[in-house]
Amino acid sequence: MTPLHINPEQFRVRPGTDVKLDEWSTSSTGGYTGDKQTAPDVLAALNERLADLQQMLYAESAHKFLIVMQGMDTSGKDGTIKHVFRTINPVGVKVANFKRPNDVELAHDYLWRVHGQTPRKGHMTIFNRSHYEDVLVVRVNELAPKQIWERRFEHIRNFEQMLVDEGTTIVKLFLHISKDEQRARLQERIDNPAKHWKFEHGDITERSHWDSYTEAYEQAIGETSTKHAPWYVVPADKKWYRNLVVSQLLIDKLDALEMCYPEPEIGIENIVVND
């Protein structure tokens, strides 16, 4: 734990938990001893640490690192990516955005488009939405019948287990906001012309399904928070705290890999580079 007590582990969903999202805070700062005023400096220090670790991930080229980011509309998926990864060398990082599947994607199984985006050795990939949409939006909007989406939890557990067995670290983040916070953020998208591009009419319809999404998320998180691919329910009403928790969590996961720079080529110590 850091001196300021950013402790992401408290937000991990233990395997077999019956998840009730109203029991998980959207606004807690989980024992953190700093405040909003000092958060930018703390985040800057975490950003630097994360950049160093990502450089080692890339240099060592032994591990694959996958971050799955989910949350209700306006929960801050884009904002988290922007703030947490801002110092990272783009060479080794990719953001994979999963939107409505196109015709080709729909003609395949639902994991087809996902597997192709998983990280290679030395790389970090952030899934901005993911295969979980296939048990969330698909369920809520009845894009597939229950017997189809219900068996996907097992597919997903097995798929993720396979990725882990083959050397991928998986961290799954549910950015947890309150319904009231979503109202405020949607209103801001309507009122602020600079944010109009983020708003679609469909967002209001989706909001009306809040309870169905909550139920779908509860089951999805409960069914798929495993030892090897755990979910973290990150309180996300306070953006500054969300950024600190996600940064610290990724640092902790990368630290646990005990990476090191590869050995230099033999005999380079006496080489002098001539004009």
Binding site for ligand AMP (CB under 6 A): 98-101, 129, 133-134, 137-138, 143
Residue 201, classed as helix, strand or coil, is coil
> Which residue, 27 or 205, has its beta carbon nearer to ligand AMP?
205
Please state the closest distance from residue 197 (CB atom) to ligand AMP, in A.
11
> Which residue, 100 or 201, has its beta carbon nearer to ligand AMP?
100
Tokens 């582990």 locate to 9
Backbone Cα Rg of the chain: 20
Please state the closest distance from residue 99 (CB atom) to ligand AMP, in A.
4
> Which residue, 56 or 186, has its beta carbon nearer to ligand AMP?
186
* SS3 per residue for 58-102: HHHCCCEEEEEEEECCCCCHHHHHHHHCCCCCHHHEEEEECCCCC
- Neighbouring CB atoms inside 10 A of 92's CB total 19
- Closest-by-Cβ residue to ligand AMP is 133
Please state the closest distance from residue 48 (CB atom) to ligand AMP, in A.
29
Please state the closest distance from residue 237 (CB atom) to ligand AMP, in A.
19
- Whether 244 and 238 have beta carbons less than 8 Å apart is answered as no
Task: Please tell me the distance from the alpha carbon of residue 224 to that of residue 251, in angstroms, as a whole number.
Answer: 23
Please state the closest distance from residue 126 (CB atom) to ligand AMP, in A.
13
- Burial string for 155-171 (b: 16+ CB within 10 Å, else e) reads ebbebbeebbeeebbbb
- Neighbouring CB atoms inside 10 A of 258's CB total 6
> Which residue, 5 or 115, has its beta carbon nearer to ligand AMP?
115
> Which residue, 95 or 143, has its beta carbon nearer to ligand AMP?
143
